[in-house]
Amino acid sequence: MKYTEEHEWLREEDDLIVVGITEYAAEQLGDIVFVELPEVGTTVSKDDEVVVIESTKSASDILAPLDGEIVEVNERLVEDPGKVNEDPIGDAWFFKIKPEDPSQMDEYMDDAAYNKFIS
Amino acid at 117: F
Host domain of residue 43:
2-101
> Chain centroid to CA 14: how far?
17
Confidence of residue 4 (pLDDT cuts 50, 70, 90): very high
**Domain for residue 118, yes or no?**
no
**Domain for residue 117, yes or no?**
no
**Domain for residue 106, yes or no?**
no
**Contact indicator for 46, 8 with CB cutoff of 8 Å:** no
**Domain for residue 59, yes or no?**
yes
70 vs 57 pLDDT, higher one: 70
Amino acid at 94: F
- Residue 78 is predicted with a pLDDT of 96
CA–CA distance, 60 with 51 (Å, rounded to integer): 8
CA–CA distance, 76 with 91 (Å, rounded to integer): 9
Within 8 A by CB and 6+ apart from 43, the residues are: 68, 69, 70
Q: Using one digit for the tens of pLDDT, what is the confidence trace for 73-117?
A: 999 999 999 999 999 999 999 999 999 999 999 999 999 999 999
**Domain for residue 109, yes or no?**
no
Q: Using one digit for the tens of pLDDT, what is the confidence trace for 40-64?
A: 999 999 999 999 999 998 899 999 9
Tell me how long the chain is: 119
- Residue 9 is predicted with a pLDDT of 98
**Domain for residue 115, yes or no?**
no
Domain count, the chain: 1
* Predicted TM-score (pTM) of this structure: 0.95
CATH code for the domain of 91: 2.40.50.100
**Domain for residue 82, yes or no?**
yes
Sign of the alpha-carbon dihedral angle for 12, 19, 110, 45: positive
**Domain for residue 113, yes or no?**
no
DSSP-derived secondary structure letter, 100: S
